[in-house]
Amino acid sequence: MSVSFENLLYDLDAASGILTLTINRPSKLNALNAATIADIDAAVQQALNNAAVRGIILTGSGEKAFVAGADIAELAALTPAQAARASERGQEAFCRIEESTKPVVAAVNGFALGGGCELAMACHMRVAADNARFGQPEVNLGLLPGYGGTQRLPQLIGKGKAIELLLTADMVKADEALRLGLVNHVVPQAELLPFCQQLLTKILGKAPLAVGMVLECVNAHYDKGTDGYKAEAEAFGRAFDSEDFKEGTTAFVEKRAAVFTGK
């Protein structure tokens, strides 16, 4: 299945339920402008409302860049009020990814700088090609991250190291990103998409409702208005009322593979 967007390729494999979204601005190293962010958000919303989509891979076109940053020429023309709104719009789109109950994997195929690093961090997991580079270089431009970078980077790698990277604008190679916990895996460029597909396929073999609840509960920990432990207990109770729970426990007793329906 293919859906048309201006700056995004939408490719759904019907057999696996894996949707691959490819940011497609290779001449701009896939830099994020307002239209591209709108495309990403629209595609994710479509995916969340499409039962045929079970998991998402987000990547960039080519082998140089996942997303090399924001479109600086577009940003430079904004007024302060317009810039604040652009930041809010990006945050809304990226939070939708983070709050998805369908797993989202970033396949980082090259530079993930500025908004690109922020987009990757909004995904549930990150797999990096061995040529990938990460960084938040905004202070070099007299700016700061505007799409959630000051919030998600400390969550992933710790406050002290995050502040260092945010203030120095240093780039991090794939192997260091793995050591810091910024990415889950590093693989050769040619193996990037197959690895991500295998990772999602493994996850999609589990109970869909339980997978979604896990994502909800992990996110609840970072919501200051939510008691994450209470959210977990409530979700645990809801799971007991699902057909997937009955199937999973029955299959365990009968020593066979469970066949989940997501109900």
The CATH number assigned to the domain holding 71 equals 3.90.226.10
Residues of the chain below pLDDT 50: none
Does residue 50 sit within a domain? yes
Same domain membership, residue 200 and residue 106: yes
Confirm whether 98 is a catalytic residue: no
Furthest C-alpha separation in the chain: 64
Same domain membership, residue 237 and residue 156: no
Same domain membership, residue 222 and residue 185: no
Distance of CA 119 to the CA centre of its chain: 6
Classify residue 181 as left (phi > 0), alpha (psi -120 to 50) or beta.
left
Gyration radius of the chain's alpha carbons:
19
Same domain membership, residue 152 and residue 113: yes
Same domain membership, residue 100 and residue 224: no
- Supply the DSSP symbol for 22: E
Confirm whether 118 is a catalytic residue: yes
Same domain membership, residue 42 and residue 162: yes
User: Domain range holding 214?
Assistant: 208-254
pLDDT, residue 200, reads 98
Active-site residue (options: 74, 88, 92, 138): 138
Does residue 240 sit within a domain? yes
Does residue 113 sit within a domain? yes
pLDDT, residue 224, reads 80
Same domain membership, residue 223 and residue 106: no
Say if residues 74 and 37 touch (Cβ distance below 8 Å): no
Same domain membership, residue 214 and residue 115: no
pLDDT, residue 75, reads 87
Same domain membership, residue 214 and residue 199: no
Same domain membership, residue 213 and residue 106: no
pLDDT, residue 9, reads 97
Does residue 262 sit within a domain? no
Active-site residue (options: 74, 118, 164, 247): 118
Same domain membership, residue 186 and residue 114: yes
Count the alpha carbons within 13 Å of 133 in the hemisphere toward its beta carbon.
Answer: 14
Overall residue count recorded for the chain in this entry: 263
Looking at the structure of the chain, the number of domains it has is 2
Same domain membership, residue 226 and residue 103: no
- Alpha helices in the chain, H assignment, sequence order: 34-48, 72-76, 80-98, 115-122, 149-157, 159-168, 174-180, 192-204, 208-220, 228-239, 243-254
pLDDT, residue 2, reads 55
pTM for this entry: 0.94
